[in-house]
Amino acid sequence: MATQGVLSIVEDGIVILKLVTGSEGMRIPELRDWIEDYPKADAAAIYDKAFEFGIGGDESLIVQLTSIKHLPKKAKLIPGSLYEKQFYNPTFNPRWCSGESDYLAVIER
């Protein structure tokens, strides 16, 4: 678990986007800073920027838009049931049953 990360965007108390990575989570603070500089960035831009920062990869990066909608649409990583069940918990890492994550950022709007 040493490099897993979660970044959630919460608007009016509701999670509107959740990025989950199984690798390079230590770069989550860089992505958080970029999102704060570009608050109108959409999910696709955030997904692309995560790759630019070296966060995750084809098999370890998911950006959720709702409990069941995610990027990439044809992910090599198929999100498990915890992704759906825990989407609205901004600090929960659905890659682990315990929900723990080494790197966490929650952006409140």
Q: What is the pLDDT of residue 76?
A: 61
> Does residue 1 have a pLDDT over 70?
no
Residue pLDDT, tens place only, 21-45? 999 999 999 999 999 999 999 999 9
| Domain total of the chain | 1
Q: Which domain holds residue 33?
A: 5-108
- Contacts of 70-73 with C-beta under 8 Å, sequence gap 24+, read 71/43, 71/44, 71/47, 72/47
Neighbour tally for 49: CB within 10 Å = 17
Residue pLDDT, tens place only, 70-99? 887 655 666 789 999 999 999 999 999 999
Structure tokens at 55: 């966060």
**Of 6-20, 31-45, 60-74, minimum mean pLDDT range:** 60-74
Q: What is the pTM of this model?
A: 0.92
